[in-house]
Amino acid sequence: QQQVKQSPQSLIVQKGGISIINCAYENTAFDYFPWYQQFPGKGPALLIAIRPDVSEKKEGRFTISFNKSAKQFSLHIMDSQPGDSATYFCAASILYNFNKFYFGSGTKLNVKP
């Protein structure tokens, strides 16, 4: 049973458009929600993260929207660029429970020039 469900599996966006990736979770004990970005041949790297006490976090063109009551969170990439083409993973963890990360299934983003 997957703890974090992610959609869509793949996404094609034109340069300058908005990319949106969604995730949902069931375990209300999760208290840390990061997004990771992975380029081909590399390990995932932290992109942006949020705690459940805020509804939105923005870093440059990347924004996490968090809906605690719906148990959903999403990544928005504004003004998408070809260099953003990568696989994105959402994740969730319980900080006091050894900080184990549970990952979504991943979204392959392709930003067309």
Residue 55 per-residue DSSP state:
S
The residues near 43 (Cβ < 8 Å, ≥ 6 apart) are none
Tell which one of 60, 69, 83, 99 touches another protein (CB under 8 A).
99
Residue 16 CB, nearest approach to another protein (Å): 28
With CB under 8 A as the rule, give the number of residues binding another protein: 28
Residues paired with residue 32 on neighbouring β-strands, in sequence order: 93
Q: Binding of another protein at residue 42 (CB under 8 A)?
A: yes
Give the per-residue contact string, 51-80, with another protein (x = CB under 8 A; - = no).
------------------------------
How open is the CA angle 51-56-61, to the nearest 5 degrees?
115
Q: Binding of another protein at residue 39 (CB under 8 A)?
A: no
Tell which one of 22, 32, 52, 72 touches another protein (CB under 8 A).
32
Q: Count CB atoms within 10 A of the CB of residue 26.
A: 12
The residues near 100 (Cβ < 8 Å, ≥ 6 apart) are 93, 94
- Which residues contact another protein (rule: CB under 8 A)? 2, 6, 9, 32, 34, 36, 41-46, 49, 89, 93-106
